[in-house]
Structure 1
Amino acid sequence: MSPAPLEPLLAAGAPPMRTRKGWCTCGCCSKVFLTMILAIVVSMYLALPSLPPTPPGHVAVISPFEIHTVTDFLGAVKSGIMPGNRKTELPLMPEEVVKYLSTSYVEWAPEPYKTQLSSDSVSATLSTAPPLARIMMAASGMSDILRAALDSLSIERNMDMMKKRIWHGMSPIPPARWESMGLSKSENIDAALSQIQLIVGLFEYLHTPRVQGRLRDIYNHIWFEFDILQDVLDALEVSNGRSKPVYNLPALWQEYIQSYLFENMAFQSRSFIFTNLLPLYNATRSEFLNQPGSAFGEAEITPVSQHHFRVLNSILDLYIETEFHVVPHTAGFVYRHEPGNVTGLLSEDESSWKRNNAIYESIQNARREDFQIDYQRKIKETAEMRFANDEHSSFGQKQEAMQPIWDILDRADTHQIAQPQILNPSRVEEEDWVRELSSVDKFGYAIYEMSKGQNEEEWKNFLTRLELGLDSGWEGMIGVENVRQKATLHWINGPDESIFEDDFADAREHFQNMVASQSIPANLSTTTFLVVDSASFLSFSSTPGSSNRGFLNVVLVDFDPASNLIEGYNGAFKIVDQLVWTELYPLVEHFHCASLDAFWALARNHPSELYIGATTEIQRRAWNSLNN
């Protein structure tokens, strides 16, 4: 059932509010102004009251909003290409506006805006911050440190990494990894369903009142900053004798987030879920129906049938949870620029975020109740149709013990009628980062050869297996035919540079010198490099399988042991070959949304401390049983 449109909430009062008297302002952070903003963020972070400790395996969340979304948005409103490769029909932001984003209002805003935006009520640092810096601080969540302390959030590490992929329009799991881990096979169906449950669980997490409320308020805060910027830009044009611009930054921001970003997140995830559930659903339902009639006796169901019953029930649960959770939830996201919505949507109560969260929760509860009522009604209609048509009569319709069987078959039939995408799933589309890389000549990493004891033939065989392993990560992805040819490794012989086995520190120093002397080939990462040591070399010696694949070492260039506060972390981790191009590169180098220590923390769950992608409790229990 498609969710009914939700009425907008009153926007939270925690973000700054534009009033008829002027603006309450705040600051922000940007990679464009990293040096200046870093000092602001650090000082505000240090001002945070003590936060409650995060649960084991979780990370604290100051902002659930991915901060680089802002810079992605600014690129989109110049090109017109929105998430999901959609093109906006709204007027675009001209290139000449960019200079104002990086310049303080004090330097270019006409009166009365210059005075209002540099008033004594604003701190000296923030009053001179450029518009982009103010916006980025809003996105970081650091503009409301009291809210961060009073309403602290956390997220499970695996879910956080999954969130970064999904937020940026990536397939939740690369198709090659799904196949390599054997998740399409019936013997691994529990592990497969647990991975899909992780995806659904992420959307459920994002739609909880506290998390959705934080996303809502950060979005609204950024909307206000763009609204301020638009007013000042309009006034600037008028003061220079020109007409107001036709572009509208708040409108573009609303469309980017609500109509494209969140829609693309849901579309890609739903497509992945329905595509990968379909063969599991078909196989399980077929095996369930093919059980001999004697298997469904009056007393009890056989163990084999119980297994199929449990699995089919789990799949149907995932279908219904996907339908409810894996959709955009933007209740309370402001859209004041639209006709007929120019007033009345914004609360001026500074504590209104709590009240708005409660309103949102009541809306969600009502939506869930309506959803369940509609679902049960459809099941009842399906059962009545079955009785009328005498379907599945081979099971013995009058046996009371058969009722659970009838119930689950009615559920399955209902799903197929109500959710046509079950049998005809949409295809996961080309990922945005893949399309964006199509315009570059090459991309990739420098890689150090630091293993020892191999002859020329052994090394040649290793290179062949490495190339095949890395390239296999692209299999099943859409639109990668051109891009996969541009993935590049620039080899550096460690011994030739007096860098030997396991000496990552010397390799790091050597690479830093290469960066300083600008001797790194163009378009290769200057923040991360790869290493082949003896263990990595040996990992490629066996035939790849679901539990064994070759790996490479990933090393952070600017890691400083003296300032490191993460116990056990040495600025490096091991990653399975198939994820170098399809997870490491997009998340670290392209989107700049994941740190190497986050990968390392997840790799520690693996018996070999190897990063293999997001994992679930079922997989980790299996590893623990091996260790014990």
Structure 2
Amino acid sequence: MINDSFGDPNDWSMGKLHKLFVGGQRTKFSLIQEDELPLLNAPYKTWASAPYDQLGHSIMDKASGEFFHNGHAIIPQFPARLHTLKVRLWTGMVPMSGGRWREKKLDDPKNIEQFRGLIQDIFKVFEYLNLDQVQEPMRHGFNWLSKEYGVFESAVNLRREQKGIPERMNITAMWAEYFQAVVTNMSNRAHRWVIERADEIQIEAKTQYETVLSTTGNDVEAIKAAGQTFYRHAHFLNDVVKRADVLLNLPMQGYEGHNVATTEVQDLSLTVREDAYNKLVDAESTGNSEILKRLEIGNQSMQDMNALLKYFDESRKNIVTARKWFRGEAGKLGDEHWITILKSRINYTLRRGGDPEQQKWGFVCYRLTYKQSPEEWAQIKEKIEDETARSGQWVQGADDVRNARWLQWIDGQELGIAEGDIQAAKRHFSNFVSTTSFMPHMWKQDFLVVDQHSYFSYKQPFSESVPPGDNGGHVRLVDTIDYNPEMIRATSPGFTGDLKILTSLVFDEVYPLLASYSQRPRELWPLARLHPRQVYVGPTVAIQERQWEMIRQEMATMMPAFYDFLRKKKEPGKGDGA
């Protein structure tokens, strides 16, 4: 079993309530006051009146201690290869940023198999979260926490009453509001992303089809093949958006504080949702059914451009109509969660007189490769900065923090750090984070390194991968935490404290996952290990994994012969010119 919290109470502390935003708006409930913050970690008996003065624990003892130790957060096992994707979705991130989408050329229907794999994995995450055996412990854990928050709420309100403070807290309602916002944001952002991406590919498929028809003349076979390809793509993408309309929701019935009077489609079971939606689509599609029957009769119909384009337009229109009935108008989405956290921290510092010029966020990056000339190093450094600067496409709120994004460079050679000595860089970093040179919002648990491998990933890049997007330049992410070796063997076998990551993912994926306390580098390692050169390139899909496995097998076959060549080369009389 895996301890997999549905909403980590360590991340959502009541000390953050005065900064809490849900769905882009501040909570309407009374917030915790400054002098009440210490009460979160203080045993009730040290500050509360009867009957709460008999309790020897604090609310945080319950939320971050007993909650996990007593199994309230345990839900069924989930595939490790999908864990990072699930975390992205749960924390309200888009499944993939615009920059990564373009790198992987997923807007081209020719790469639709990779898109298919990604969509299937997104759907697997939501199918898992909709399972009764997952929903039941989630409800239990949520309601258990709600009960404990209610105890704290009552004790604080009694204290306020005794102090003559009229305002009352309603933490249980805030907890319900927060959790509802998390679920809604996750569902709606994932849904919007899937619909927009499927639409993008459909439009491109139509454009490619029309382009082929304009150049093939009377070539019947070419026209037929183009029609078959277009129909296959359009039909598959229609199925994708219909499945997204139904699946990308989580029911909230049974959660304390959820307003049953406002129950909507997401509170229906998945089976009921599927049945209701299919009836809506069928009702809208009666005029399109004859076209579909003709198209599916045989190859002859695939020459009928007008019928194909009519099917394309009508089916898309019918699905949109059914969606409005089923899901309602698309709601407004707030900033991604990690950006809300970042902006809250920056604003908190500024309100207390912080220097606006010191509000940078990002990573410290060490140079640990020294054989380059100053000009060569400047070129690689510029490439890395350019690549990280392109982040933020499709990430809501990114424009507000883009200008403060930063890589803080440290030249290891100037500090006397040996080339490639990551342990020495760790020792320097552990002290550096406490100096005035370290910006207050830079990430202080991990740092980046440009080593010799990183340098050559830019200087001598590998040819484009198949599917595309996985052989770009990389940097090294160093985890500063010392883990129990047994835990590493069980959860991240082979992890030695650092991993290579695609540079384009530094701010689009790695920083958000780390800074929202959603993932640690060791949790990214299993996916990096799949890559032939052990580079983390984001969540993977089957077509990538199959290709990588084939490359690894080829490398395993070639390496003995290569080592044999090197050995013979070193033998006397068998070197160059022998």
Shorter chain as denominator, the TM-score bin is: 0.7 to 0.9
Selected match of 2:7 from 65, 68, 79: 65
Structure 1 stretches lacking a partner, 5+ long? 1-50, 52-59, 119-127, 342-359
Selected match of 1:437 from 342, 348, 355: 342
CA–CA distance in 1 between the matches of 2:184 and 2:273? 19
Confirm or deny: 8 A CA contact 1:313 1:408 kept in the other structure. Answer: no
The answer to whether structure 1 residue 457 and structure 2 residue 375 are counterparts is yes
CA–CA distance in 2 between the matches of 1:278 and 1:134? 46
Indicate the residue corresponding to 2:285 in structure 1.
379
Report the Cα offset of residue 401 of structure 1.
Answer: 7.8
CA–CA distance in 2 between the matches of 1:268 and 1:86? 16
Larger RCO (alpha carbons 8 Å, 6+ apart): 1
Indicate the residue corresponding to 1:157 in structure 2.
80
Confirm or deny: 8 A CA contact 1:172 1:269 kept in the other structure. Answer: yes
Check 1:203–1:131 CA distance in 2 against 1; reply closer, same or farther (3 A cut): same
Confirm or deny: 8 A CA contact 1:470 1:580 kept in the other structure. Answer: yes
Give, as a single letter, the amino acid of the residue that structure 1 aligns with 2:552. N
Report the Cα offset of residue 560 of structure 1.
Answer: 5.7
Selected match of 1:418 from 322, 337, 351: 322
Check 1:241–1:556 CA distance in 2 against 1; reply closer, same or farther (3 A cut): closer
CA–CA distance in 1 between the matches of 2:177 and 2:333? 22
Give, as a single letter, the amino acid of the residue that structure 2 aligns with 1:133. D
CA–CA distance in 2 between the matches of 1:432 and 1:373? 36
Selected match of 1:217 from 140, 146, 151: 140
Report the Cα offset of residue 303 of structure 1.
Answer: 5.1
Partner deviation per Cα, 1:63-108 (whole Å, 9 max, x = no partner): 343444422x652x323x4233223333333333322212111112
**Residues 260-279 of structure 1: matches in 2 within 5 Å?**
260-279=181-200
The answer to whether structure 1 residue 230 and structure 2 residue 153 are counterparts is yes
CA–CA distance in 2 between the matches of 1:577 and 1:248? 44
Report the Cα offset of residue 556 of structure 1.
Answer: 1.3
Report the Cα offset of residue 363 of structure 1.
Answer: 4.0
SS in 1 for 2:459: coil
Give, as a single letter, the amino acid of the residue that structure 2 aligns with 1:437. L
Tell me which moved more, 184-193 or 427-436: 427-436
Selected match of 1:144 from 56, 71, 74: 71
Structure 2 stretches lacking a partner, 5+ long? 350-358, 554-578
Give, as a single letter, the amino acid of the residue that structure 1 aligns with 2:198. L
Tell me which moved more, 407-416 or 84-93: 407-416
Check 1:558–1:108 CA distance in 2 against 1; reply closer, same or farther (3 A cut): same
Check 1:159–1:284 CA distance in 2 against 1; reply closer, same or farther (3 A cut): same
SS in 2 for 1:329: coil
Check 1:549–1:451 CA distance in 2 against 1; reply closer, same or farther (3 A cut): same
Indicate the residue corresponding to 1:104 in structure 2.
43
Indicate the residue corresponding to 1:552 in structure 2.
475
Selected match of 2:18 from 78, 83, 102: 78
Indicate the residue corresponding to 2:61 in structure 1.
133
Check 1:231–1:477 CA distance in 2 against 1; reply closer, same or farther (3 A cut): closer
**Residues 292-371 of structure 1: matches in 2 within 5 Å?**
304-335=226-257, 363-371=269-277
Give, as a single letter, the amino acid of the residue that structure 2 aligns with 1:86. Q
Report the Cα offset of residue 570 of structure 1.
Answer: 0.7
CA–CA distance in 2 between the matches of 1:296 and 1:216? 59
SS in 1 for 2:77: strand
Tell me which moved more, 613-622 or 514-523: 514-523
Report the Cα offset of residue 160 of structure 1.
Answer: 1.6
CA–CA distance in 1 between the matches of 2:143 and 2:483? 38
CA–CA distance in 1 between the matches of 2:507 and 2:340? 14
Indicate the residue corresponding to 2:429 in structure 1.
511
Selected match of 1:613 from 538, 542, 567: 538
Confirm or deny: 8 A CA contact 1:175 1:476 kept in the other structure. Answer: yes
Indicate the residue corresponding to 2:505 in structure 1.
579
Report the Cα offset of residue 396 of structure 1.
Answer: 8.4
- Provide the alpha-carbon RMSD of the alignment: 3.8
Check 1:288–1:482 CA distance in 2 against 1; reply closer, same or farther (3 A cut): closer
Confirm or deny: 8 A CA contact 1:83 1:432 kept in the other structure. Answer: no
Check 1:232–1:398 CA distance in 2 against 1; reply closer, same or farther (3 A cut): closer
CA–CA distance in 1 between the matches of 2:474 and 2:413? 21
Indicate the residue corresponding to 1:593 in structure 2.
518
Indicate the residue corresponding to 1:187 in structure 2.
110
SS in 2 for 1:540: helix
SS in 1 for 2:477: strand
Confirm or deny: 8 A CA contact 2:475 2:502 kept in the other structure. Answer: yes
Aligned residues: 518
SS in 2 for 1:70: coil
Confirm or deny: 8 A CA contact 1:288 1:308 kept in the other structure. Answer: yes
Indicate the residue corresponding to 2:552 in structure 1.
627
Confirm or deny: 8 A CA contact 1:556 1:572 kept in the other structure. Answer: yes
Confirm or deny: 8 A CA contact 1:62 1:141 kept in the other structure. Answer: no
Report the Cα offset of residue 182 of structure 1.
Answer: 1.0
Report the Cα offset of residue 463 of structure 1.
Answer: 1.4
Partner deviation per Cα, 1:458-511 (whole Å, 9 max, x = no partner): 111111111101112234544434522222333332233332233222222332
Partner deviation per Cα, 1:264-302 (whole Å, 9 max, x = no partner): 1122212211221112122335656887999999xxx95
SS in 2 for 1:574: strand
CA–CA distance in 2 between the matches of 1:512 and 1:537? 25
Report the Cα offset of residue 536 of structure 1.
Answer: 0.3
Tell me which moved more, 246-255 or 488-497: 488-497
Confirm or deny: 8 A CA contact 2:11 2:517 kept in the other structure. Answer: no
Confirm or deny: 8 A CA contact 1:171 1:428 kept in the other structure. Answer: no
CA–CA distance in 2 between the matches of 1:167 and 1:596? 18
Tell me which moved more, 555-564 or 181-190: 555-564
CA–CA distance in 1 between the matches of 2:297 and 2:381? 65
Confirm or deny: 8 A CA contact 2:447 2:477 kept in the other structure. Answer: yes
TM-score by length of 1: 0.73
Tell me which moved more, 503-512 or 518-527: 518-527
SS in 1 for 2:443: coil
Report the Cα offset of residue 167 of structure 1.
Answer: 2.1
TM-score by length of 2: 0.78
Report the Cα offset of residue 231 of structure 1.
Answer: 1.7
Give, as a single letter, the amino acid of the residue that structure 1 aligns with 2:30. P
The answer to whether structure 1 residue 207 and structure 2 residue 149 are counterparts is no
Report the Cα offset of residue 520 of structure 1.
Answer: 4.2
CA–CA distance in 1 between the matches of 2:295 and 2:401? 57
Give, as a single letter, the amino acid of the residue that structure 1 aligns with 2:285. I
Quick check: which one's helix share is greater?
2
Report the Cα offset of residue 365 of structure 1.
Answer: 2.8
Give, as a single letter, the amino acid of the residue that structure 2 aligns with 1:96. D
Report the Cα offset of residue 174 of structure 1.
Answer: 1.5
Confirm or deny: 8 A CA contact 1:84 1:432 kept in the other structure. Answer: no
Calculate percent identity across the aligned residue pairs: 21
Check 1:470–1:371 CA distance in 2 against 1; reply closer, same or farther (3 A cut): same
CA–CA distance in 1 between the matches of 2:390 and 2:367? 21
Give, as a single letter, the amino acid of the residue that structure 2 aligns with 1:165. R
SS in 1 for 2:448: strand
Confirm or deny: 8 A CA contact 1:554 1:573 kept in the other structure. Answer: yes
Confirm or deny: 8 A CA contact 1:536 1:553 kept in the other structure. Answer: yes
CA–CA distance in 2 between the matches of 1:426 and 1:609? 40
Confirm or deny: 8 A CA contact 2:477 2:500 kept in the other structure. Answer: yes
